[in-house]
Amino acid sequence: MISLARHPNIVAVKDAKADFMDSSRVMAETDLYFYSGDDGLTLPWMSLGAVGLVGVTTHVATRRFRELIDAINANDLETARKINFELLPVIRATMTRVQGAVAAKQILKWQGVLPNSIVRLPLVEPDEAEIVTIREDLAEAGLVFP
């Protein structure tokens, strides 16, 4: 990344490998804009200097992630931590029960944003047990859908 940062067309990186030591070095030694690519690590990434998030869970909890980033940018750590903790069950529902795009489409359907949750192969829609688990995680965050 340090070598690539010298290329004039490379200006940013989405980091989803959760290696804080390696990425901190890249942040310190380059002028690349860093974006968290790991939804659940947005707060720590931004505390190290990331400028935002490119995530999956942001599609289903857009307003809350905007509030999280705004709180971080305002140096309001108390609010940022509160929002971060509130988002954890949503992140868990979206990113750990089934593949992220599959879960996001299902949740977006429940939210009325998408007309269906159809995914293309090799992805498949969640089975009933996975649906139950995703719904339980969302309910923990206060998100209940018919």
Average pLDDT on 19-38 reads 94
DSSP 17: S
Average pLDDT on 68-86 reads 97
Confidence of residue 95 (pLDDT cuts 50, 70, 90): very high
Looking at residue 69, its pLDDT comes to 96
**Is the model's pLDDT at 146 over the cut of 90?**
no
**Is the model's pLDDT at 65 over the cut of 90?**
yes
Place of tokens 């992220």: 100
Average pLDDT on 8-32 reads 94
Average pLDDT on 46-67 reads 95
Cα separation, 139 vs 121, whole angstroms: 29
Confidence of residue 112 (pLDDT cuts 50, 70, 90): very high
Cα separation, 99 vs 134, whole angstroms: 12
**Is the model's pLDDT at 31 over the cut of 90?**
yes
**Is the model's pLDDT at 35 over the cut of 90?**
yes
DSSP-assigned beta bridge partners for residue 90: none
Query: How far lies 77's CA from each of 26, 27, 55, 73, 88, in Å?
Result: 24, 21, 21, 9, 16
Confidence of residue 145 (pLDDT cuts 50, 70, 90): confident
Query: How far lies 122's CA from each of 95, 97, 99, 101, 107, in Å?
Result: 17, 17, 11, 12, 19
Contacts with 122 (C-beta within 8 Å, 6 or more apart), sequence order = none
The model carries a pTM of: 0.89
Cα separation, 106 vs 139, whole angstroms: 15
Peptide bond just before 122 cis, omega within 30 deg: yes
Which pair of tokens denotes residue 51?
A: 């400028």
